[in-house]
Amino acid sequence: MSADINVRQALFEDLDEIMKIENAGFGADAFSRRQIAYLITQSKGKFFVAVHNNKIAGYVSFIMSRRHNTGRIYSIAVASEHRGLGVANTLMDKTIDLANKKKLRAVFLEVRTDNAAAIKLYEKKGFILSSIKHNYYHDGSPAYNMALRLQTHTNL
């Protein structure tokens, strides 16, 4: 974790800043304000924000399923002015650490097939391609479904 990037649980008061990042990063595929508010306050998981220079630099929404003993990175984004500083890497580390502490079997996520930077990061963290979801995004683009098997909690 970078010394100048701090990760903490998101607060409802962070919603405006999170929405700026969400809308800038996802456009037509962005979650609504109501959806993000629900993820922060009521979802079965954690919503973390990364803070850099006293400003929210990015976030990750992580949903956990007790039934399946798995987690899903529902959304992760970094503000454009904070890219290249290790924010996404720090958020991924925090999420994977939580998954291990909760003894989850695996973590899943979807990513646009043309998002090379994100795919590279996920592969570096141990995620592997498990399937392709055609017509996944608003513009018809496909997504890779990727999985991280947590070795210590999975019988392979």
What would the two tokens of residue 72 be? 């899903």
Q: What are phi and psi of 99, to 5 degrees?
A: -60, -40
Q: What DSSP assignment string belongs to 1-53? A: --TTEEEEE--GGGHHHHHHHHHHHHGGGPPPHHHHHHHHHTSSEEEEEEEET
The model's pTM is 0.91
C-alpha span between 66 and 13 (Å, rounded): 28
> Which one-letter amino acid corresponds to residue 20?
K
Q: Which residues contact 129 (CB under 8 A, 6 or more apart)?
A: 144, 145, 146
Average pLDDT taken over every residue of the chain: 93
In this predicted structure, the answer to whether residue 11 has a pLDDT above a threshold of 70 is yes
pLDDT of residue 51: 97
Across residues 93-116, what is the average pLDDT?
96
Q: Which residues contact 83 (CB under 8 A, 6 or more apart)?
A: none
Residue 142 to residues 2, 26, 48, Cα–Cα distance (Å): 32, 14, 27
* pLDDT interval class at 1 (50, 70, 90): very low
What would the two tokens of residue 93 be? 């580390």
Across residues 59-87, what is the average pLDDT?
95
pLDDT of residue 152: 62
Across residues 2-14, what is the average pLDDT?
89
C-alpha span between 77 and 5 (Å, rounded): 15
Pairing of strands 106-112, 70-78: parallel
In this predicted structure, the answer to whether residue 156 has a pLDDT above a threshold of 50 is no
